[in-house]
Amino acid sequence: MAASLLNGKEISQQILEDIKQQTLSLDPKPGLAVVLVGNDPASEIYVNNKEKACKKVGFYSEKIVLSEAASEDEIFAVIDRLNNDPRIHGILCQFPLPKHLRHLEDAIVERINPQKDVDGFKPNSPYTSCTPKGIMTLIEHTNIPLTGKHAVVMGRSLMVGKPVAQLLLDADATVTITHSKTVNLSQITKQADVIVAAIGKPEFLTKEMVKPGSIIIDVGINRTDHGLVGDVDFEQIKEIASFITPVPGGVGPMTIASLMQNVLIAYQASNSVSS
Ligand code: NAP
């Protein structure tokens, strides 16, 4: 393997350990509430992992599970209660919601007190949203400055593609965003110094599409008959890239570590307002 592994599991453990040390002396503790509507198995895993991370770093945490039959009013009542609960510094509602409630997602984000919107989903949120933030932390660990580098983001979703493109731009990279209508995709990806693949297509990015020596960040989480795989053909591309993230153990754990960082920032901000 020529590439160095960007080990999100290890890096996230360091971040969590650091937060744990900072939390020891805090009283009351920072608090996170996670709202889960319905019983989608993947969402349950994500929510449980977030709860586990809270325990690990010593945060107060609350998990609120609502049935799939929950009404708009019930969901909003929970958000309102959490908005007013001084033990809670961060609130997140696990998306996607069950299909028949999906039209409420924007309104739920809107309902969360901006100071507690630790997912960073609101426009102009004070927090950097967690997956893009985790991606930038991984890239920082390469110690390669982004200034002037060509970064290609595959995918233009509101949760990943667009915000990560903005962060790369803020870091002075030259950024190209590609999507399902992009023509000659591999000509573009071949020019990239950094590729962030966030399309949700198993092992879509192949060795032929990548410039040797590039940094490859694989955001994809695809459940296949062969287990969990990313959007990148890891086995092939690790031979030519300079850095590459694995799936699992790359961006996923960094997303949770970034969430814990955001909760701590929310806690500090709330204390500086109230003191
Ligand atoms: P999404 O909302 O489904 O968006 C997918 C994007 O990929 C769209 O913009 C789509 O283009 C684009 N796309 C589709 N086919 C393409 C192609 N052939 N070439 C270039 N772009 C293409 O997905 P998402 O929410 O951003 O998530 C992407 C992946 O990341 C999923 O596997 C998801 O599970 C994973 N994810 C992981 C984490 C984590 O913490 N590790 C967090 C969030 C998401 P159009 O806009 O033209 O349709």
35-60 per-position pLDDT tens digit: 999 999 999 999 999 999 999 999 99
CA dihedral 120→123→125→131, nearest 10 degrees, is 20
- Any ligand 1 atom below 6 A from CB of 228: no
Tell me the mean pLDDT in the region 184-197: 98
* Co-location of 244 and 137 in the same domain: yes
- Residue 110 pLDDT > 80, yes or no? yes
* Co-location of 217 and 171 in the same domain: yes
* Co-location of 109 and 133 in the same domain: no
Tell me the mean pLDDT in the region 123-131: 93
Strand partners, 133: none
Q: Contact, 191 vs 211, CB < 8 A?
A: yes
Q: Centre a 10 Å sphere on the Cβ of residue 227 and count the other Cβ atoms it contains.
A: 9
Q: What is the pTM of this model?
A: 0.96
* Co-location of 108 and 135 in the same domain: no
* Co-location of 59 and 108 in the same domain: yes
Write the burial class of residue 27 (CB in 10 Å: 0-12 exposed, 13-18 middle, 19+ buried). exposed
The whole-number pLDDT of residue 272 equals 81
Q: Contact, 8 vs 247, CB < 8 A?
A: no
Q: Is residue 98 part of a domain?
A: yes
Q: Is residue 120 part of a domain?
A: no
Q: What are the tokens at 60?
A: 């107060």
- Any ligand 1 atom below 6 A from CB of 251: yes
SS3 of residue 25 by DSSP: coil
Q: What are the tokens at 234?
A: 């890891």
Active-site residue set: 50, 94, 119
* Co-location of 142 and 199 in the same domain: yes
Residue whose token pair is 């040390």? 21
- Any ligand 1 atom below 6 A from CB of 255: yes
Closest-CA residue to 229 (of 207, 199, 208, 187): 199
* Co-location of 174 and 242 in the same domain: yes
Percent of the chain at pLDDT exceeding 90: 96
- Residue to mutate (ligand 1; options 47, 97, 204, 221; most atoms within 8 A of CB): 221
Closest-CA residue to 230 (of 253, 203, 199, 195): 203
Q: For atom 40 of ligand 1, which residue has the closest CA?
A: 252
> Domain of 96: which CATH number?
3.40.50.10860
- Any ligand 1 atom below 6 A from CB of 245: no
- Residue to mutate (ligand 1; options 11, 50, 138, 180; most atoms within 8 A of CB): 180
Longest dimension (CA), the chain: 57
- From the CA of 165, how far away is ligand 1's center (Å)? 13
Q: Is residue 6 part of a domain?
A: no
Q: How confident is the model at residue 123 (pLDDT cuts 50, 70, 90)?
A: confident
Helix axes 251-274, 41-57, angle to 10 degrees: 50
Q: Is residue 55 part of a domain?
A: yes
* Co-location of 171 and 244 in the same domain: yes
Q: Contact, 259 vs 119, CB < 8 A?
A: yes
Instruction: Pick the last residue of a domain from 113, 143, 175.
Output: 113
Q: Is residue 2 part of a domain?
A: no
- Any ligand 1 atom below 6 A from CB of 198: yes
Q: Is residue 264 part of a domain?
A: no
Please tell me the chain's helix, strand, coil percentages from 3-state DSSP, rounded to the nearest 5: 45, 15, 40
SS3 of residue 136 by DSSP: helix
Query: In one letter, which amino acid is 252?
Result: G
Domain extent for 107: 29-113
Closest-CA residue to 154 (of 92, 216, 102): 216
pLDDT tens digits, residue range 130-180?
A: 999 999 999 999 999 999 999 999 999 999 999 999 999 999 999 999 999
Q: For atom 6 of ligand 1, which residue has the closest CA?
A: 155
